[in-house]
Amino acid sequence: MDNAPRIGVIGAGVVGLTVADILQKNTKAKITVIAETFREDTVSSVAAGIFRPASTFKGPSKEITKKWIHDSWHYWQDILRTPESPKAGIFSFNCYVYSTKSYEATRNRLIEDLVPYYKQMSDDELNIVGGQQKYGSFFSTVKIGCDSYLPWTEKRLKNNGVKIIQEKVESFASIAKKFDLVFNCTGLGARYLCGDEDVIPIRGQIAKVKAPWLKAAFYGDFADTYIIPGIDGLATLGGVRGYDSYNTEFNKHEAAAIFERCYNLLPPLRKAEVLGHRVGLRPHRAVVRVEPELVGDLRVVHCYGHGGYGVTTAPGTALYAVNIGLDLLKTNSKL
């Protein structure tokens, strides 16, 4: 093992830890995860975690985008089929997407041929919620609760010999001599680490309420009106989409708007106890960056810019990134 390659993973959100998890399963390398924040302090922990990609998630081509989404779905399904799924915070449920405008506004072409069950809603299903809902799509999906998935994955990594270091990486030069290969999974941090001004923050705000009776997810006309159950009985209500906003402070007016929209969509929520609010900055990039780069003499594989779909698509992009990295090591390529 003394001559085993040294691999660093920068970032401990859902993308970084999934990259590290796939690496330790597929190589004998010495793996180190380095991050400034972990678990509940990451942006991933704010995410609702529903598997529901949207058209704003894009890879370099339609074929690659589809592969990332499909590979992610099967990765989450593999965990779901194990006894460990509750500990990982992964469970299956149904999702209802409503609109007063058109059926196309509810349709998700990215997953309608992927998930086990997908259909246009019946009239009875349209009447489940409040408001004048005229159109809807219904499908089965999964939720990945990062409040469970991140510590669960981190524990398994440590048990399998992966080194975990809490430290801010200021530059690639500062770690260049420590590793033969580095995976950059820093999300919005890549804007500073790489000088990549194409990665933009999209502010999000959600509320947590106690609703153990909620067993399905609901979306309204607005893309950011959503109600998503949790394995712990806590539901996530959202949300907000503040483009190019760095504001991480709680906004009471946005909270009021979230409650109004969600209560109108699902009136029984008015009786749910409000437990708190979270704010996070989604790292959006027009095209998610998963590609190799030679930074000085250091081989780097970037994997960031997932926007609001990092939890959904982390495994697919991680698999793609790991394959690139292992090919570099195999061929000893400097790019």
DSSP letter string, 261-297: HHHHHSGGGGGSEEEEEEEEEEEEEEEEEEEEEEETT
Q: What is the pLDDT of residue 332?
A: 76
Asked if the model's pLDDT at residue 333 lies above 80, the reply is no
Distance CA(112)–CA(202), nearest Å, equals: 27
State what percent of residues in the chain have pLDDT above 90: 91
Distance CA(311)–CA(17), nearest Å, equals: 11
Mean pLDDT (whole number) for 150-178: 96
**Is residue 294 very low, low, confident or very high in pLDDT (cuts 50, 70, 90)?**
very high
Residue 82 falls inside a structural domain: yes
Give CA angle at 252 (248, 254), nearest 5°: 75
pLDDT greater at residue 331 or residue 268: 268
Q: What is the CATH number of the domain that holds 86?
A: 3.40.50.720
Asked if the model's pLDDT at residue 238 lies above 60, the reply is yes
DSSP letter string, 66-122: HHHHHHHHHHHHHHHTSTTHHHHTEEEEEEEEEESS-STTT--TTTTTTSS-EEEPP
Q: What is the pLDDT of residue 285?
A: 97
Mean pLDDT (whole number) for 196-222: 95
Express each pLDDT in 171-184 by its tens digit.
Answer: 999 999 999 999 99
Asked if the model's pLDDT at residue 1 lies above 70, the reply is no
Residue 196 falls inside a structural domain: yes
Contact 185, 19 (CB under 8 A): yes
Asked if the model's pLDDT at residue 298 lies above 90, the reply is yes
Q: What is the pLDDT of residue 334?
A: 67
Express each pLDDT in 70-107 by its tens digit.
Answer: 999 999 999 999 999 999 999 999 999 999 999 999 99
pLDDT greater at residue 120 or residue 333: 120
Range of the domain at 187: 6-331
Structural tokens at position 65: 């985008």
Number of domains forming the structure of the chain: 1
Mean pLDDT (whole number) for 61-72: 98
Q: How many helices (H) and strands (E) does the chain have?
A: 8, 14
Mean pLDDT (whole number) for 112-123: 95
Asked if the model's pLDDT at residue 121 lies above 70, the reply is yes
Exposed/middle/buried for 335, CB within 10 Å: 0-12, 13-18, 19+?
exposed
Give CA angle at 152 (149, 158), nearest 5°: 135
Mean pLDDT (whole number) for 320-333: 90
Mean pLDDT (whole number) for 20-41: 95
Q: pTM, whole model, 2 decimals?
A: 0.94
Residue 313 falls inside a structural domain: yes
Mean pLDDT (whole number) for 273-284: 96
Residue 109 falls inside a structural domain: yes
Q: What is the pLDDT of residue 239?
A: 87
Name, in order, each residue with C-beta under 8 angstroms of 31's C-beta and a sequence gap of 6 or more. Answer: 7, 8, 9, 20, 23, 24, 157, 161, 162, 163
Q: What is the pLDDT of residue 132?
A: 85
CA distances from 132 to 124, 257, 316 (A): 13, 19, 38
User: Please, what is the average pLDDT of the chain?
Assistant: 95
**Is residue 223 very low, low, confident or very high in pLDDT (cuts 50, 70, 90)?**
low
Residue 1 falls inside a structural domain: no
Residue 254 falls inside a structural domain: yes
Asked if the model's pLDDT at residue 202 lies above 90, the reply is yes
